[in-house]
Amino acid sequence: MSETILAIDFGTSHSLVGALQDGKRRDALAIDPGADDPTLMRTLLYFPNADVCFYGAEALKQFTDNDLEGRLFRSFKSHLANQHYLGTSIDNRILSLETMVGLFLLEIKKRSEKILGTTINKAVIGKPARYSMDEVADEFALHRMQKAAEYAGFTEILFVPEPLAAALEFRREIQEEKTILIGDFGGGTSDFTIMKISKKPFQKSDVLAVDGCPLAGDALDSVFMSRRLNRSFGAQTQYRLPLSENLLKMPSGVMDRLNKPSQIVHLKERDTYHFIKEVQKCALKDEDKAAIERLFIMIEDQQIFQFFEEIERTKKVLSRKSTAHFNFDYPDLETTDVFSTTEFREWSENVKNDIIAALERCLASAELKAEQIDYVFLTGGTAHVPFIQKEFENRFGAHKMQTKNFFHSILSGLIESAKSWSELS
């Protein structure tokens, strides 16, 4: 019986969609005509009010056209494993995280159905090797994704680890059996799979190990804010509450929200916002009060997204050059700085170590040493950060590296998974 299965690479920063339709592959559907690459849809939600939502490139355009009013959400996938994060509110509407993800998946479903000319109820969806290092949190995140996919209208859902999907794609390039390592670096997670690949039909026993950690591109972006840029927004403020002799510092929980792309939008929530206002009143130094005022301008004028876009641009420059100029010129938020690759490498040491620890766990689980790996395939922009790439070259040898910046490799593997699923149905 003919059927259509949607393949969804739901990413922290970008999402892609393909399909298996009547047994034939439909690679990378043009689901976002407003984007530079219509097959690559930014994972963005924009609510000008509680009753209207825009997605992808249109979300960014409408956000700009509406003078940055309303709520723009990015990196919301990063919250899935956080059991304390239930969602947000817009005006008087409560919006759970499952609903936010579900709305995005539903939009993808509707656009795909229009392109393919059919109703779709079945989906293969990529998942990180680990949403969290905590097993309970990892299962909780997957449960949330299941609920979100059901909200979008899918009645049959198969989740496939993203690095495994990438491996299925790379199998098409291999002529004889090899043992390979796949490293997939997204915005929110770094995932690894070790498996044997050949021209033979795929079997579950081919997968020798899967592991990962919930750190990748966004974590590298955050070091620029946490190590230097947040000082201009009150991170080092000292204050004393009325009738108290205790000298206090801006709480780390507040600064943690400021430092992370997925968290900073929540500074606008009422309790946090009012707390920062109180800190500003009680700050001991005028320069700290002025710095917090800059933070309020960033929040109220909705400049958070643009500020992190400049951080992302700076990070990319440092992958090619030894220094990069940071320049943000919004009125009253003007910020200029120069960053070096040496600083970036030092600040990112803990993130790098956690990523490499996940790699080492994966090798140990497969009971293999680095020299027993035939090829190393790395995907995603973070794979091109020099000090990350160097770690892999040192362990496996530059001659084994097959570094690729495909956004489409995981999607292609998900379509292969859909094909196998269809054949077993």
What is the DSSP pairing of strand 207-213 with strand 190-197? antiparallel
For residue 80, give the nearest of 190, 214, 213, 186 by alpha carbon.
214
Tens digits of residue pLDDT in 208-248: 888 888 888 888 989 999 999 999 999 999 999 988 888 99
For a pLDDT cut of 70, what percent of the chain falls above it?
A: 96
> What are the phi and psi torsion angles at 408 (to 5°)?
-100, -5
For residues 293-321, average pLDDT: 88
Q: How far apart are CA 265 and CA 259, in angstroms?
A: 11
Residue 403 — very low, low, confident or very high, per pLDDT cuts 50/70/90?
A: low
Its CATH architecture, for the domain 4-172+407-424, is: 2-Layer Sandwich (3.30)
Q: Where are the domains of the chain?
A: 4-172+407-424
Residue 404 — very low, low, confident or very high, per pLDDT cuts 50/70/90?
A: low
Residue 102 — very low, low, confident or very high, per pLDDT cuts 50/70/90?
A: very high
Q: How far apart are CA 337 and CA 374, in angstroms?
A: 43
For residues 253-272, average pLDDT: 80
What sign does the dihedral 128-131-133-138 (CA atoms) show?
A: negative
CA distances from 11 to 125, 143, 160, 190, 217 (A): 10, 17, 13, 12, 12
The one-character DSSP state at 240 is: -
Question: Would the pLDDT of 1 be above 50?
Answer: no
Question: Would the pLDDT of 47 be above 60?
Answer: yes
Contact (Cβ atoms closer than 8 angstroms) between residue 14 and residue 133: no
Question: Would the pLDDT of 268 be above 80?
Answer: no
